[in-house]
């Protein structure tokens, strides 16, 4: 399976020794990275995804991938102002139209992976996963506009009937399992729950505070807190990101524990390595690529920029410098390697992790230059 993400620091309140000043990179305000090339790479990859036969679904739609389509939808709008764009790019519009169509036709479109073709329980996994992805994409778009759209509300409304009500997963959702990390593997249901929290707390108009949602939102928060410490650090970074949207998700000491773990995991060169942020093992037996990469570095840098803790300032500064230095001048992309097998990095599947890496690098670098 294969806001701009702008969470305000309001609602995330740390007291005591923690300053209310958000960490920022102390670099020249015009950081020398190629925004136009990054946008071109993201647009090209999104266009490819929408036309790739494997991604095609019924009613003229395509599935939304966690590695290419979702990161693109989150990151591409952040480049609009710096590139002088007045409207979404054509690939953005195509993705939003696809999501809106599937949300509107929710009862008519088939699941991404139906049981009759992929086996039980792929229908339920697909429905819950898609509901969360649709909600994240539309709630972040609507947050930028300041008003929750009809289709955005419908996407959020599709979440709740699929939320687990009993058992160890109570408060969360089932998630697509193809034994592919980090988005379709053993830790991915927690990742999905963090995305649901981001969607719910990003939705404008006080959506998350609606009285009729109180029990459901509380159940999600309880699940996230209860399962926090047993998750891979990569998933805990996502939880820290989600907690920026609501002070009810994590207690102060839990937030600080994740921050400290992320700071300890920073590589000597200033970035982070996806492969070292969980207990992964490739299915083909090849060794993991433990080099610093754009996905982990972009994600962690973006999250730490959102946390009002001055201790993160040196780490953010070093990470931004790493990102600036490691954009591929030929493609405009940032590299990340598969956690699941050794892939040809020039192939389309071999670019999946780099698609996510480029999107999160863009999010981190554009946030570093916010006034």
Spans in the chain with pLDDT lower than 50: 1-30
What is the Cα–Cα distance from 131 to 123, expressed in whole angstroms?
12
Three-class SS state of 151 = helix
Cis peptide before 121 (omega within 30 of 0): yes
Query: In this predicted structure, what is the pLDDT of residue 25?
Result: 41
Q: How many domains does the chain have?
A: 1
The answer to whether residue 12 is domain-embedded is: no
| Average pLDDT, rounded, for the chain | 92
CATH number of the domain encompassing residue 175: 1.50.10.20
Q: What is the pLDDT of residue 31?
A: 60
CA distances (Å), 12 to each of 84, 120, 125, 205, 240, in order? 32, 40, 32, 18, 10
Q: Compute the half-sphere exposure of residue 132: CA atoms within 13 Å on the CB side of its CA.
A: 28
**Residue 11 has what pLDDT?**
32
Is there a domain that residue 26 lies in?
Answer: no
Yes or no: say if 82 and 135 are a contact pair by the CB < 8 Å rule.
no
Q: What is the DSSP letter of 30?
A: S
Domain membership of residue 25 (yes or no) is: no
Range of the domain at 342: 35-368
DSSP string for 236-278: HHHHHHHHTT-TTSS-HHHHHHHHHHHHHH--TTS---GGGSS
Would residue 285 count as lying in a domain?
yes
Cβ atoms < 10 Å from Cβ of 94:
17
The pTM of this model reads 0.91
User: What pLDDT, on the 0 to 100 scale, is given for residue 19?
Assistant: 33
The DSSP code for 162 is G
């Amino acid at each position: 399976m294969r806001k701009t993400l702008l969470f305000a620091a309001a609602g995330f309140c740390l007291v005591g020794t923690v300053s209310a000043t958000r960490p920022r990179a102390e670099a020249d305000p015009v950081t020398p990275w190629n925004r136009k090339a990054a946008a071109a790479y993201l647009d090209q990859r999104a266009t490819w995804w929408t036309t790739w036969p494997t991604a095609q679904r019924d009613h003229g739609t395509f599935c939304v991938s966690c590695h290419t389509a979702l990161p693109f939808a989150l990151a591409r709008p952040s480049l609009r102002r710096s590139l002088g764009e007045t409207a979404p790019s054509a690939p953005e519009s195509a993705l939003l139209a696809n999501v809106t169509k599937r949300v509107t036709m929710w009862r008519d479109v088939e699941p991404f992976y139906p049981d009759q073709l992929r086996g039980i329980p792929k229908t339920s996994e697909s429905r819950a996963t898609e509901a969360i992805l649709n909600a994240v994409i539309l709630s972040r778009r609507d947050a930028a506009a300041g008003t929750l759209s009809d289709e955005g509300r419908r996407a959020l409304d599709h979440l709740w009937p699929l939320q687990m009500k009993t058992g160890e997963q109570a408060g969360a959702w089932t998630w697509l399992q193809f034994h592919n990390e980090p988005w379709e593997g053993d830790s991915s249901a927690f990742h999905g729950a963090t995305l649901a929290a981001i969607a719910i707390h990003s939705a404008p108009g006080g959506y998350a505070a609606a009285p009729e949602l109180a029990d459901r939102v509380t159940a999600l928060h309880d699940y996230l807190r209860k399962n926090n410490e047993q998750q891979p650090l990569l998933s805990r970074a996502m939880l820290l990101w989600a907690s920026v949207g609501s002070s009810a998700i994590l207690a102060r000491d839990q937030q600080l524990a994740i921050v400290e773990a992320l700071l300890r995991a920073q590589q000597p060169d200033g970035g982070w390595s996806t492969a070292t942020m969980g207990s992964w093992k490739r299915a083909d037996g090849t060794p993991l690529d433990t080099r610093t990469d754009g996905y982990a570095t972009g994600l962690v840098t973006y999250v730490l920029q959102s946390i009002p803790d001055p201790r993160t300032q040196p780490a953010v500064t070093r990470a931004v410098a790493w990102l600036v230095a490691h954009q591929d001048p030929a493609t405009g992309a940032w590299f990340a390697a598969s956690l699941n097998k050794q892939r040809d990095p020039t192939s389309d599947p071999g670019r999946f992790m780099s698609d996510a890496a480029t999107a999160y690098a863009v999010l981190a670098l554009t946030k570093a230059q916010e006034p």
